Amino acid sequence: MTGIVQVGVGCFLFNSRFQLVTGVRKGSLGAGTIALPGGHLEFGESPEACAVREVLEETGIQIDENDVRFMTAVNTVFPAETKHYITLFVSCQVPDDSRPEVLEPEKCERWEWQSWEDLEKLAKTPDNDLFLPLQNLLRQRDINPRTFFSN
């Protein structure tokens, strides 16, 4: 199998209660699964700039590149689709009154707030509905989002 390895960026948007924005993908790889705002890293773009661009394009929420923090990365292969991604996960705290809007309805059914604990529980179920890179993150990495926002 030959092909190009692509780089994706997934952005955890947390409020002060450590709830995060998740959406249901549609019309592309992983349709019907729960994912984060994010997308492909463009040539010459930093992961932080990619997160700012993708979050604004997809949800309408404006975040500051200086507030975006790198969390971790995962390696994901989609054998049936012959696609291979390295996904860089970043995080950013947003105001509690942030209201994500579906600005790309061909790509996302809805955005909603979900607790970190609920996401972790979902990842442990055999037939969960998480987008594969997010599954890999929650199964392979020991992440505590609160550590990314401590002073």
Q: Which of 6-10, 106-110, 122-126 has the lowest mean pLDDT?
A: 122-126
Please report the pLDDT score of residue 119 as a whole number.
87
What is the pTM assigned to this prediction?
0.91
91's tokens: 């995080």
- Tell which phi-psi region holds residue 14, choosing left (phi > 0), alpha (psi between -120 and 50) or beta: beta
pLDDT of 147 reads 67
Answer yes or no: is pLDDT of 151 > 50: no
Q: Which residues contact 125 (CB under 8 A, 6 or more apart)?
A: none
- Of 89, 97, 101, residue with least CA distance to 145: 89
Whole-number pLDDT of residue 50? 98
Nearest to 61 by CA among 109, 25, 29, 96: 96
- Collapsed DSSP state (helix, strand, coil) of residue 122: helix
Q: Is the pLDDT of residue 146 over 80?
A: no
Strand-pairing partners, residue 23, are: 35, 111
Helix (H) or strand (E) holding 58: helix 47-59
> Rounded mean pLDDT of 100-121?
93
CB 15 within 8 A of CB 94: yes
Instruction: For residue range 28-75, list pLDDT tens digits in order.
Output: 789 999 999 999 999 999 999 999 999 999 999 999 999 999 999 999
Rounded Cα distance between 93 and 149, Å, is 8
Question: What domains sit in the chain, N to C, each tagged with a CATH number?
Answer: 5-148 (3.90.79.10)
User: What does DSSP say about strands 108-115 and 19-25: parallel, antiparallel, or unpaired?
Assistant: antiparallel
Phi–psi pair at 81, nearest 5 degrees: -95, 0
pLDDT (mean) for 131-149: 80
The pLDDT assigned to 40 comes to 95
